[in-house]
Amino acid sequence: MSSSTGSFFSLSFFSLLLVLLPSFYQVNSSSTPTKIGKGHRLISIEETPDGGIVGILQVKQKNKIYGPDIPLLQLYVKHETQDRLRVHITDAEKQRWEVPYNLLPREKAQSLKQTIGRSRKNPITAQEYSGSELIFSYIVDPFSFAVKRKSNGQTLFNSSSDGSESFGEMVFKDQYLEISTQLPKDASLYGLGENTQPHGIKLYPGDPYTLYTTDISAINLNADLYGSHPVYMDLRKVKGQAYAHAVLLLNSNGMDVFYRGTSLTYKIIGGVFDFYFFSGPTPLAVVDQYTALIGRPAPMPYWAFVYLHLLNDSSVVTRIGFHQCRWGYHNLSVVEDVVENYKKARIPLDVIWNDDDHMDGHKDFTLNLVNYPRPKLLAFLEKIHSIGMKYIVIIDPGIGVNSSYGVYQRGIANDVFIKYEGEPYLAQVWPGAVNFPDFLNPKTVDWWGDEVRRFHELVPVDGLWIDMNEASNFCSGLCKIPKGKQCPSGTGPGWVCCLDCKNITKTRWDDPPYKINASGLQVPIGYKTIATSAVHYNGVLEYDAHSLYGFSQAIATHKALQGLEGKRPFILSRSTYVGSGKYAAHWTGDNKGTWEDLKYSISTMINFGIFGVPMVGSDICGFYPAPTEELCNRWIEVGAFYPFSRDHANFYSPRQELYQWDSVAESARTALGMRYKILPYLYTLNYEAHTTGAPIARPLFFSFPDYTECYGLSTQFLLGSSVMISPVLEQGKSQVKALFPPGSWYSLFDMTQAITSEGGQYVTLDAPLHVVNVHLHQNTILPMQQGGMISKEARMTPFALVVTFPAGASDGKAAGKLFLDDDELPEMKLASGSATYVDFYATTSQGTVKLWSEVQESKFALDKGWKISKVTVLGLGRNGAPSALELDGKPVTAASNIELTTLEQKYLEDLQDGSEKKSIVMVEVNGLEIPVGKNFAMSWKMGISG
């Protein structure tokens, strides 16, 4: 079930302490930092055969603060691509822990010891190493390095303390690494998650940023949550032009990151410095370069966005990617009732989920044959599958210790579990005593795949939800199963530790010299998780690999699902690391049904887009406790536009399915109805994410990087480059003050409404209950869908194109795209017969409007018979009615079914500044039957005001 240990434990303990006790970190983050040692001296440097440089660093003055220094370090630098620079620093004489290259494939750094004790054949005297876009430079004594942008000389990273009071020289010990960078005051930083950030999407000076995967509820602010993403994006302006770059420190050990506004300091408890610098210079380019390294986001199946569902009256609606879950669907009849009630309320429901209620005693890969009898469950699944619905269940990593449990027996036989002193490490989660699979072990990956296969034969699920994989443990330390008592007892909260446990402090791995700000309270790093002195495959310590656990499980689960039927997998994971987006979607964990949590959901969602995990969303209406009716209305108005859109609630909360309130059902139909209309656009964004890393949901600065007003905006977001969501996020409000960046914007709910501003401005929008403001920016061609077909042809629903020009412009351009494919295939790529890609273009010039398409791989769309039935063009200046319509070079006569209509568009009153606005109109072309898979060209004449 979804991390109720995180939710309720955090309420009763963590949250209380966070409120009552100022953490050590917060007290000391603004004070003068301790400077440790005198740094290092570069004693040699030379070129390498692979085009990089390698050098040896010697510690200048040893000290014992946080342990002894490593005397000799190896520096390796390489321009891996024209826009990516790597700086790798490790022990020159001994191999150290790094993120495994088989988990995150990448170039290997220069071999250790290769340059020590041999002649220098290619010594370097210059102190700059230049690539296409970036320049690496260094100072010999004390050693520091800087990374600059070649085009304008801008310094992106500079580790020199230069006498600074805010940080000292680089430190490299076995269990303590420290390095810093100077920053300009005007730099806007984003990232460093997973973290619920109360100040919004921008990193905030003085706030704590600790990276260490932890099962505490997402309601805890400024604390290390379920994922670890040690990457940040830096956006700043140089001479009026915006430049973005990103910095990744590829290190899986626990770390504190201190951001002080003019500097940023990493304090890490192990591993190596493995920096990657991405030159951008746009935010989209940064994410493209970042995901080129860590892995492109997974292609999501089409049903995650849309498929079919038959209503009681046998009419058909197209499904729009909404998911319903709850911990507490005690038996199959409850699940059936939920599906039926969504039908009755005429609210789309695509995927029904089970938390662990379907399991036998909370054990993975089992079925409760009393509450979920297999014959009835299979009949239910056959019914929903026949109409296009899907079914997903939860899996936790902890495998119940039970001699009669086949999954456990096979796990023991295959020796798949993490060890402590030679025995499987014992922990407690929902089944009681559990062992944790070691997904770094190839045998475990094979065993896990076999268990997934066995379960799929038992229950043909459509995806898997992997939870509690930080990994979460209800106990701490070294535990034994108690004798003479039942554990768990079956009464009271299931997350109370009932094993006999004792703390483990005898090793430096369990009690490291530097204490990261774990859980926001500096709790021991083995607290409520796997003991950090436990051992993985090949002797790897949990101390080093801890934050990789959920990532490694996602990789194993992806392999298992892909091997079942050769279909595109769907996995939802709570814990994530750098590269997780290649395998899984993510939800933001246990949130609360509060207005504050509704706001936080936007920041967390768009952060994960930067992290390369674009399929993300929060529990709609909150996981616990009960939301108000008004809040649930407003939340579905936002959540309908999350890339991953799911209502999920806690066992102890009242029911909150969207049909529980008539008003919420109405808001759901409205907001989800718009999601339905823009599904072709959303699915095309899915393809863009998979091929370029581009986030589906984005901050506004992605499209408007030169407009500094939107740099910290956390209450609105974009879908793709052009669709802007401006929701109500405060109780009792019926208006929303929304920021409109420069240009013309058109309401998607009422296309006669226009907003235009040369320099950008705030506009107060009406937003009564059931209304969410969604606007489309100029220069866009948005593919949309209509509805209302018989079931077998529902995916044949006609398409419509919405074209937006700058309001009243005499000359304008617009463009859009559409990707369609067979989503059953594991790969999402443009290929003959299985996918079609269409570029749309439009111009308005000299009184003529032109619209045309260029199709790649037409066969798939032509075979499906998809048609464009309607075109709407917005923002046209008016001197007369449209006329002389031509399609593919031929005049359209009055005898055809094609009609042109004109409607006047209005500017919102807020924008009337006394100046004269240009008269604008929208033109609709109805009655078309243009094949999506065929190039077309359309034009007509009309007066365009200058």
The DSSP-derived string for 324-391 is E--TT--SHHHHHHHHHHHHHTT----EEEE-GGGSSTT-TT---TTTS-HHHHHHHHHHHHHTT-EE
DSSP 816-877: EEEEEE-TTSSS----TTTEEEEEEEEEEETTEEEEEEEEES-HHHHHHT-EEEEEEEEEEE
**What would the mean pLDDT of 76-98 be, rounded to a whole number?**
97
Work out the average pLDDT over 803-807: 97
Range of 643-647, 821-825, 870-874 with top mean pLDDT: 870-874
Q: Is the pLDDT of residue 790 over 50?
A: no
CA atoms within 13 A on the CB side of 783: 26
- Across the range 564-593, mean pLDDT stands at 95
Greatest extent of the chain over all pairs of C-alpha atoms, in Å: 91
Average pLDDT over residues 205-234: 96
pLDDT higher than 90, residue 124: no
Q: Is the pLDDT confidence value at 115 over 60?
A: no
Eight-state DSSP code of residue 69: B
| Inter-residue contact 3 to 467 (CB < 8 Å) | yes
**What average pLDDT does the segment 398-404 reach?**
97
- Interstrand relation of 883-887 and 937-941 (parallel, antiparallel or unpaired): antiparallel
Q: What are the tens digits of pLDDT across the range 524-558? A: 999 999 999 999 999 999 999 999 999 999 999 99
pLDDT band at 27 (very low <50, low <70, confident <90, very high): very low
Percent of the chain with pLDDT over 90: 81
Of the listed ranges 2-6, 503-507, 572-576, 632-636, the least confidently predicted one is 2-6
User: What pLDDT is recorded for position 134?
Assistant: 98
Tokens of 374: 């297999």
DSSP structure class, residue 11: I
**Quick one: 338 exposed, middle or buried, by C-beta within 10 A (0-12, 13-18, 19+)?**
buried
Catalytic residues: 467, 470, 590
796 pLDDT higher than 80: no
pLDDT of 821 > 50? The answer is yes
Contacts of 60 (CB under 8 A, 6+ apart): 37, 38, 39, 40, 41, 141, 142
pLDDT, position 322: 82
Q: What is the mean pLDDT of residues 202-207?
A: 95
Q: What is the pLDDT of residues 462-489, one digit of tens each?
A: 999 999 999 999 999 999 999 988 888 8
User: Is residue 418 within 8 Å of 438, Cβ to Cβ?
Assistant: yes
CB 33, CB 267: distance < 8 Å = no
**Considering the chain, what is the average pLDDT of its residues?**
90
Q: Looking at residues 598-602, what average pLDDT do you find?
A: 97
Structure tokens belonging to residue 423: 């025995």
Residue 7, pLDDT above cutoff 60: no
Q: What percentage of the chain carries pLDDT values higher than 70?
A: 91
Residue 34 confidence (pLDDT):
81
Local confidence band at 187 (pLDDT 50, 70, 90 cut-offs): very high
Of 27-36, 553-562, 605-614, 632-641, least confident by mean pLDDT is 27-36
- pLDDT at residue 21 greater than cutoff 60: no
**pLDDT of 313 strictly over 60:** no
For the cut 60, the answer to whether the pLDDT of residue 391 exceeds it is yes
CA atoms within 13 A on the CB side of 207: 21
Q: Which of 450-464, 593-607, 784-798, 922-936 has the lowest mean pLDDT?
A: 784-798
Tell whether the model's pLDDT for residue 306 goes beyond 80. Answer: no
How many C-beta atoms surround the C-beta of residue 123 within 10 A?
A: 10
Q: Is the pLDDT of residue 129 over 70?
A: yes
Average pLDDT over residues 399-423: 97
Mapped to the 3 state alphabet, what secondary structure does 713-767 carry?
A: CCCCEEECCCEEEECCCCCCCCEEEEEECCEEEEECCCCCEEEEECCCEEEEEEC
pLDDT above 70 (res 382): yes
Lowest-pLDDT range, 380-389, 586-595, 648-657?
648-657
For the beta carbon of residue 673, count every other beta carbon within 10 angstroms.
16
Residue 943 pLDDT greater than 70, yes or no: no
Strand order in the sheet with 72-81: 40-47, 53-59, 72-81, 84-91, 273-278, 241-249, 229-238, 188-193
pTM above 0.85, yes or no: yes
**Is residue 309 over pLDDT 60?**
no
